[in-house]
Structure 1
Amino acid sequence: MWLYLLQGIGFGLAAAAQPGPFQAYLLSQTMQNGWRRTLPAAFAPLISDGPIILLVLLLLSRVPAWLQRGLYLAGGLFILYLAWGAWRAWRSFDASRWQRVGPSQRQSVWHAALMNALNPGPYIYWSLVTGPILLSGWQEAPISGAAFLFGFYATLVGALAGITLLFGLARPLGPQINRTLLGISALALLAFGLLQVYRGLG
């Protein structure tokens, strides 16, 4: 059991540390709405990954190529939509805006969960890397599989929450820093969105 727990912790940390659209989304939301309103979005994988894990384990192999391309395309379009929102916020930036109330925490969580569900990354990750480990642990003993899942998601969510708090520390530094980071997040979302659309069409 302990071996699977340690593997879960290691893979959870690796997943959180990899730059990607989800991390760019957290940066964008933190710069727009503050870390308190964005923090619940770190829990989005707990909402979106359940069906992904079940689907991957039922397939017992890698995600079909046609589904992968479709997910790339749908996810890319959604990320471009988020990039457009971040760009609009950057273009109409007003220092006084940061004192106002932004979108609700619930909206932030569901946007993050939807983006994660439309991102092929979790499907590929669970089919090629973590899925076989989870399946092996569960076959040995259900508690081993549960330990792997616990280690993975406790570390993943904790690390994403830490990233959100880190971004939040930059927010009080001043309007110019906020606007710069918001612009960076918009460009990052644009790049990730275009890349996924390209992969979906390729």
Structure 2
Amino acid sequence: MTHSFLPFVAFALVASISPGPTNLLILAQGARHGLRSTLVPILAACLAAAATVLLVGMGLGQWLTRHPQAQHLMMWAGVLWLSWLAWQLLRSTGVTGAPAQARVFTAVDAATLQVINPKVWLMAVSVIGVFAAPGLAVWQLALVFLVIALPCMALWAVLGAGSAAWLQTPRRLRVFNQALGGLLLLSAWAAVLS
């Protein structure tokens, strides 16, 4: 074990547990559709984030730094897609089965969100730049990140599922969805505006 392992674990914990677009969408999914419905999206999101760490460590991060237009395209694709998801939450009626009811957050959605999220790429570049060291292979960093991210994201799903009983009224569910939609929109545009 290298001297950078424990600081990396702390970094991975903070990066995984802090509120962000994927965690907010997992929270909403758990609240609307139950804990079971979040398991596959959680696995997909965490695998995609770990794969991003692995790809950056294998050289893709250097390619991205040489091609800022690719970074810019990824940023705008991510912001626009997150804005669309936020719009779905904002216009949710709070009535189950209503036409404007927010759709299910799928495994493909979760993995795609991680792949086009500039925050995930910056996190991966930070992991490789700061914590990669002799004696700690890139695949080990990706694996440790995955192991830490899974329970962190699952906690967001549990919080969502735990709030489901409180969200039984259409008004509360509508307010909850709109609050999450607003936070998602804010988190999507904060990176662009900063």
Shorter-chain TM-score range: 0.7 to 0.9
* 3-state secondary structure, aligned to 1:190: helix
Residue aligning to 2:88: 85
User: Structure 1 length as normaliser, TM-score?
Assistant: 0.76
Residue of 105, 120, 123 corresponding to 1:122: 120
Count the aligned residue pairs. Answer: 186
Q: Identify the match of residue 180 of structure 1 among 135, 157, 175.
A: 175
C-alpha separation in 1, matches of 2:29 and 2:19: 16
- What does residue 157 of structure 1 align with? 150
Q: Counterparts in 2 of 1:1-202, with a 5 A limit?
A: 1=1, 3=3, 5-43=5-43, 44-51=45-52, 53-55=54-56, 57-59=58-60, 61=62, 63-64=64-65, 65-89=68-92, 92-94=93-95, 96-97=96-97, 108-127=106-125, 129-133=126-130, 135-136=132-133, 139-140=134-135, 142=137, 145-173=138-166, 174-175=168-169, 176-196=171-191, 198=193
Unaligned runs of 5+ in 2: none
Q: Deviations over 1:81-137 (max 9, x none)?
A: 111221232xx221x549xxx967xx611101111111011211111x21135531x
Secondary structure, counterpart of 1:122 in structure 2: helix
Q: Does the residue aligned with 1:23 lie in a helix, a strand or coil?
A: helix
Hey, what's the Cα distance between the residues in 2 that align with 1:109 and 1:3? 35
Alpha-carbon offset, residue 18 of structure 1:
2.2
Cα distance in structure 2, aligned partners of 1:83 and 1:147: 34
- Quick check: 1:27–1:167 contact (8 Å CA) kept in 2? yes
- The 1:60/1:109 distance shift into structure 2, 3 A limit, reads closer
* Structure 1 residues 157 and 58, CA gap change in structure 2 (3 angstroms): same
The CA distance in 1 between the partners of 2:52 and 2:132, in whole Å, is 15
Normalised by the size of structure 2, how large is the TM-score? 0.79
Q: Which structure 1 segments of 5+ residues have no match? A: none
Tell me which amino acid in the other structure corresponds to 2:73.
Answer: G
Distance change in 2, residues 1:3/1:93 (3 Å): same
Q: Which moved more, 1:176-185 or 1:52-61?
A: 52-61
Rounded Cα–Cα distance in structure 2 between residues aligned with 1:150 and 1:51:
11
* Alpha-carbon distance in 1 for matches of 2:64, 2:186: 24
Are the aligned partners of 1:86 and 1:182 in contact in 2 as well (CA < 8 Å)?
A: yes
Greater relative contact order, per chain length (Cα 8 Å cut-off, separation 6+): 1
Identity, % of aligned positions: 20
CA distance 1:189–1:103, shift in 2 (3 Å): closer
SS in 2 for 1:69: helix
1:78 Cα deviation after fit: 0.7
